[in-house]
Structure 1
Amino acid sequence: MNNTPQLHRYLPSDEIDLFELFGAIWKQKKLVIGCTILAGLLGVGYAYLATPVYQVSSVLRPAAINELDALNRSEVYKLPPAEALSKVGAQLDSYEARLGFFRANPALFEAFEQPGRSLEQSFEAFNNNAIRLVLPDPKKPDVLNASIRLEMQYPNGIDGVAILNGFVAYAIAQQRDQVGADLKVIVNNRLNELKGKIDAARANYETGKTSQIARLLEADKVKRAQLQDELTALRMQMRAQRTSRMAELAEAISIAQSIGIKHPTTPSAMGADALRGANQVMRTEVTNQKIPLYFMGTEALEAERAALARRTNDDFTNSRIAEIGKELRMLDVNRQVEVLESRKNEDIFLQDVEPLWAEEARLRGLNIDMSALKLVTVDRQAQEPLSPIKPRKALIIALGLVAGLMLGVLVALIRHFVQVRRESGPFSVFDEHRLPRQ
């Protein structure tokens, strides 16, 4: 007799019958449905009891060119719209700016403050978890992509719209103040530089004027010394000439006395004294030789010598003495030096400073209204959200139902295999020798 059918009845098979499993699960459908409903209820409870989390965002774009035209036309501070947007983005991402806004608005952040935490610790919780800055993609440097988005997630009970819009306005105001401070520093530096150049030109002018006065006075001194030397030399020359003339006259007087010439005469007149006749004759003497001085006669010669001996000053005998006196008198006052020293407004005589004055006046006249400076355009302000982003109720409930279903199926399968194990427990492949043989 063949006992093979009985063997297959008691030996376990390695093949899984899906229909048998489905039937086993179907038999325990109440358990599966119960697990599904229980997990779904847990999901519903979490979805409706969890604290809602909302999200708001604000978008910033570059300002129009005309908004920054006054600043850029100042030729002092260049700020293209894209760079202004980048600076505001850096301010929004700045830890110091966020902490400053956090400290300046404690009423908006009461929910973030917890007992036992310092102000900085409470701010860290807000800064790390709540706010996020989304910068433009550097791989897409197109105009449409030039925007900055600031996002904030916050639980129910916090005025996230006021926080985000307030922080954006605060960051823009801080960057505007920073631009104003930078502009003021640059203008002051330029003014100091211009002042240094003007002072250098003024010092150069003063040095040049002093040098010019010194040169003029030195030239006058040299000229005066030369004239004095010339005057002394002329007086010595005239004194020597007078002494020589007196000696010459003394010699002529002795000759005239020896030949008996008392009155002025000529050589021809002396020769004609022997030919005196009745007829009166007029003679004209033409000679190219100088008549000796003794022919002047002793009377004239002695009179001239006496006059020369009585003379105390020979200046009147030479016209150059008067000219020297005139020149010395003119050297007493140098009118050019007098004019240089009497200048009232010496700045008008400075060289190459007109452009510096013009630039200084332009910089001092800069009147850029920083309060009206628009660095960026707020393309979209934060608005009150219509619904929270967390928890996502439908998704949580669906996941709960799926998880409950999977848990129910798993429990049903475990119960099925445990039951099959119990039913086939006494028999195993190791007990095959116990089965009846053929």
Structure 2
Amino acid sequence: MQNNNGDERSSEVDLLELLKVLWVQKWLVFWVAFSFAFVAALYAYITTPVYEAKYYISPPSLNDIANLNYGRTRESGLGSFTVVDVYKVFLSNLQSEDLRQSFFRKYYSPELKLSDGDKLPGNIYDEFSRSLNIAPVGKELNERWSVSIQGENPEKITEWASLYVSYAGQRAEREVVNSAIKEAAVLARNMQLEITSLQESGKKVREDATNQLKEALAVAKASGIENSVTFTGESSSKLAGNMSGDFAYMRGSKALEAELKNIESRQSNDSFIKGLRELQAKYSFYKGLEASEYKVSVFRQDGLVAQPTAPVKPKKILIILLGLLAGIFVGCVVVLMRSFLKKHNANGI
């Protein structure tokens, strides 16, 4: 117990001695801290300020995508585009690396006047990529997003922020519209295949009917039957209704010749093909959708993009404060080291 009390008193004496040493040489600590703070302030005010422009984005409204859903009903076989579907396509384009690289080559890089000693394009792209930040505003990923760009020229970064979002919007619009057009084109091509198949089938049916009539006409002429055979009696209606196929010759050569002439002079079989007109109507409908001009908006701008007036870097007050704290720490270390060396030399003597 006595040893513990002795250790506590020794610690208190050492701490008081250290504080006394620091107090005696407080001006040295002050000047070191002041020097550090001065250098930090000089750095903060000499460093080129960096500004940040922000562009806020919201999902499109139903009216913005209404033109895209023209003709897309349950009966048409085409699914409707929802706001969430369209907005997801836009967000996917907005965050894609391909868009970032394309924007860098098309807009960002031409603005830089590079000389032989300047940084390589790869390094410049890395700096551009770090200066561009795309993030959701809040926890909902399908709601508001922001695009921010940092740079030394506030006017230029404001322009770039708007350009970047517009560029992503154009690409997303093309993707959505092309998807709608291709979907209609696939259905139109399917309809065309069905129409062609029915027309080919109708052509063969016509050829078969022609051959059957020719055979029936030959039999009628050989049998000397010019006019249609008339039946009497109880079974007359049944027999009269069976003048087709093998019994077609009973209609007489005159009727058969007239029917054969009519079939051979027919310009098109379309009117006699069941279900063809309905398919042709669907085909025309899908081709109309394929050729339509779609005017859609895949996002909405949420507020104006104001040109920044205050820089986000460097944070001058924070830099000066950190410089001051570092100076105080270094000053204290210098004072204590001097005191230690002084004691060491005195003990050596």
TM range (shorter): 0.7 to 0.9
Distance 2:121 2:201 in 1: 58
What amino acid is the match of 1:184?
I
What amino acid is the match of 1:17?
D
1:36 corresponds to which residue? 33
- Residue 378 of structure 1 deviates from its aligned partner by 1.4
| Residue among 381, 390, 394 paired with 2:317 | 394
2:257 corresponds to which residue? 334
1:5 corresponds to which residue? none
Is this contact kept in 1: 2:134–2:145, CA < 8 A? yes
5 Å-filtered alignment, 1:395-414, equals 395-414=318-337
> Normalised by the size of structure 1, how large is the TM-score?
0.64
1:45 corresponds to which residue? 42
> Normalised by the size of structure 2, how large is the TM-score?
0.78
Distance 2:14 2:282 in 1: 97
Verify: 1:22 aligned to 2:19, yes or no. Answer: yes
2:64 corresponds to which residue? 67
Is this contact kept in 2: 1:44–1:396, CA < 8 A? yes
Is this contact kept in 2: 1:56–1:382, CA < 8 A? yes
Distance 1:118 1:336 in 2: 88
1:356 corresponds to which residue? 279
| Residue among 193, 198, 208 paired with 1:196 | 193
Q: Deviations over 1:49-99 (max 9, x none)?
A: 112122222121111112212212332464211222221112122233233
What amino acid is the match of 1:70?
N
Is this contact kept in 2: 1:51–1:156, CA < 8 A? no
What amino acid is the match of 1:365?
G
Is this contact kept in 1: 2:213–2:256, CA < 8 A? no
1:211 corresponds to which residue? 208
What amino acid is the match of 1:82?
V
Distance 1:131 1:161 in 2: 12
Verify: 1:132 aligned to 2:55, yes or no. Answer: no
**Structure with greater Cα Rg:** 1
Q: Would the alpha carbon gap of residues 343 and 84 (structure 1) be closer, same or farther in structure 2, given more than 3 Å must change? A: same
Is this contact kept in 2: 1:57–1:381, CA < 8 A? no
Distance 1:91 1:74 in 2: 27
1:377 corresponds to which residue? 300
Q: Deviations over 1:321-348 (max 9, x none)?
A: xxxxxx8983595222221222234322
| Residue among 90, 93, 116 paired with 1:91 | 93
Verify: 1:343 aligned to 2:344, yes or no. Answer: no
Distance 1:415 1:132 in 2: 49
Is this contact kept in 1: 2:191–2:283, CA < 8 A? yes
- Residue 37 of structure 1 deviates from its aligned partner by 0.5
1:260 corresponds to which residue? none
Unaligned runs of 5+ in 1: 1-12, 229-326, 427-438
**Equivalent residue pairs, number:** 311
Q: Deviations over 1:291-340 (max 9, x none)?
A: xxxxxxxxxxxxxxxxxxxxxxxxxxxxxxxxxxxx89835952222212
Q: Would the alpha carbon gap of residues 408 and 123 (structure 1) be closer, same or farther in structure 2, given more than 3 Å must change? A: closer
Is this contact kept in 1: 2:36–2:326, CA < 8 A? yes
What amino acid is the match of 2:197?
A
Verify: 1:160 aligned to 2:157, yes or no. Answer: yes
Q: Would the alpha carbon gap of residues 106 and 131 (structure 1) be closer, same or farther in structure 2, given more than 3 Å must change? A: closer
Q: Secondary structure at the residue paired with 2:302?
A: strand
Aligned Cα RMSD in Å? 3.0
Is this contact kept in 2: 1:227–1:328, CA < 8 A? no
Q: Secondary structure at the residue paired with 2:210?
A: helix
What amino acid is the match of 2:264?
E
- Residue 118 of structure 1 deviates from its aligned partner by 9.2
1:294 corresponds to which residue? none
Distance 2:263 2:63 in 1: 52
What amino acid is the match of 2:126?
A
Q: Deviations over 1:90-138 (max 9, x none)?
A: 2122233233333333676316x5636798526622443221221477x
What amino acid is the match of 1:28?
Q
| Residue among 174, 184, 190 paired with 1:187 | 184
Distance 2:104 2:27 in 1: 56
